[in-house]
């Protein structure tokens, strides 16, 4: 329990804080209209035309902050909140087009993330389950149970690696977003502060996800070490 308190609980609290931060930043800057009255679709079309990204398709998606770029179909999916004429919408749209620019140039970390997404999904869904099954099984058949638990840890490790590979992908997309918006004259100096606030808050959620995944992995390993 002590190990759980010093490893997992702080990471969970960090995650909750990061999620609150991104939501509050988005809500704040969603109330600030674009100086040029450009909605998310206007920003997308301008950047796509000027940045050589006209091949990207745009689709709407339900929910809030569910926006994402799909490299498989070269599709950018935008939620209703990102289609409004606000500073927050500009930040989100530019960020997703930052991923499209990465995809177009074959950005290494984006390719690396795409190559391990299947293993990461298996690790996320199955790794923890196998680990706990193994620990319970070890009460009756120690060697077999520990073997199953180790397999669970190995699978979960793929999910942890995925969260860390995601960091340079997201940071780089945010950097591209800032540069594209400034290069195309879509934001004022004051609006750029709002764009930075939204993008920086979003980046925290990925850092928190990586920290929580790593803390969980270390906790699993600590249990195995004690069992042995």
Residue 112 has pLDDT above 80, yes or no: yes
User: In the prediction, which pLDDT does 216 show?
Assistant: 93
Residue 3 has pLDDT above 80, yes or no: no
Residue 220 CB neighbours (<10 A) = 22
Burial of 21 (0-12, 13-18, 19+ CB in 10 A): middle
Rounded to whole angstroms, what are the CA distances from 204 to 112, 137, 209, 213?
Answer: 21, 38, 9, 14
User: In the prediction, which pLDDT does 228 show?
Assistant: 64
Structural domain total, the chain = 1
Which two structure tokens, joined as six digits, stand for 62? 């339900």
Q: Which residues on neighbouring strands pair with residue 76, listed in sequence order?
A: 58, 69
Q: Do 174 and 150 touch, CB atoms closer than 8 A?
A: no
pLDDT tier at 21, thresholds 50, 70, 90:
very high
154-177 per-position pLDDT tens digit: 999 999 999 999 999 999 999 999
Q: What is the pTM of this model?
A: 0.91
40-72 per-position pLDDT tens digit: 999 999 999 999 999 999 999 998 889 999 999
Which two structure tokens, joined as six digits, stand for 139? 């009460």
Q: Coil, helix or strand for 139?
A: coil
Which two structure tokens, joined as six digits, stand for 132? 């706990």
User: In the prediction, which pLDDT does 161 show?
Assistant: 97
Task: State how far the Cα of 49 lies from the Cα of 51, in Å rounded to an integer.
Answer: 6
Per annotation, catalytic residue among 96, 170, 190, 191 = 96
Which range (4-18, 26-40, 156-170) has the least confidence?
4-18
199-225 per-position pLDDT tens digit: 999 999 999 999 999 999 999 999 988
Active site residue 59: no
Domain that holds residue 176: 2-227
User: In the prediction, which pLDDT does 65 show?
Assistant: 87
Of 81, 61, 82, the closest CA to residue 70 belongs to 61
């Amino acid at each position: 329990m002590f190990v759980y308190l010093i490893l997992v609980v702080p990471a969970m609290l960090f995650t909750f804080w990061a999620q609150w931060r991104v939501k509050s930043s988005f809500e704040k800057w969603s109330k600030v209209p674009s100086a040029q009255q450009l909605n998310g679709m206007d920003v997308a079309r301008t950047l796509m035309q000027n940045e050589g990204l006209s091949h990207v398709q745009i689709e709407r998606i339900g929910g809030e902050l569910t926006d994402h770029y799909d490299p498989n179909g070269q599709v950018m999916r935008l939620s209703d909140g990102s289609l409004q004429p606000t500073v927050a919408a500009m930040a989100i749209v530019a960020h997703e087009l930052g991923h499209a620019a990465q995809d177009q140039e074959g950005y290494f970390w984006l390719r690396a993330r795409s190559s391990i997404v299947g293993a990461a999904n298996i690790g996320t869904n199955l790794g923890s389950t196998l680990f706990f099954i193994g620990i319970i099984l070890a009460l009756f058949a120690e060697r077999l149970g520990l073997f199953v638990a180790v397999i669970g840890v190995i699978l979960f490790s793929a999910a942890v690696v995925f969260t860390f590979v995601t960091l340079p992908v997201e940071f780089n997309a945010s950097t591209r977003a800032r540069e594209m918006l400034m290069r195309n004259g879509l934001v004022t100096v004051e609006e750029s502060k709002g764009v930075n606030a939204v993008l920086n808050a979003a980046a925290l959620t990925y850092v928190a996800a990586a920290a929580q995944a790593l803390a969980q992995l270390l906790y699993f390993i600590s249990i195995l070490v004690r069992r042995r």
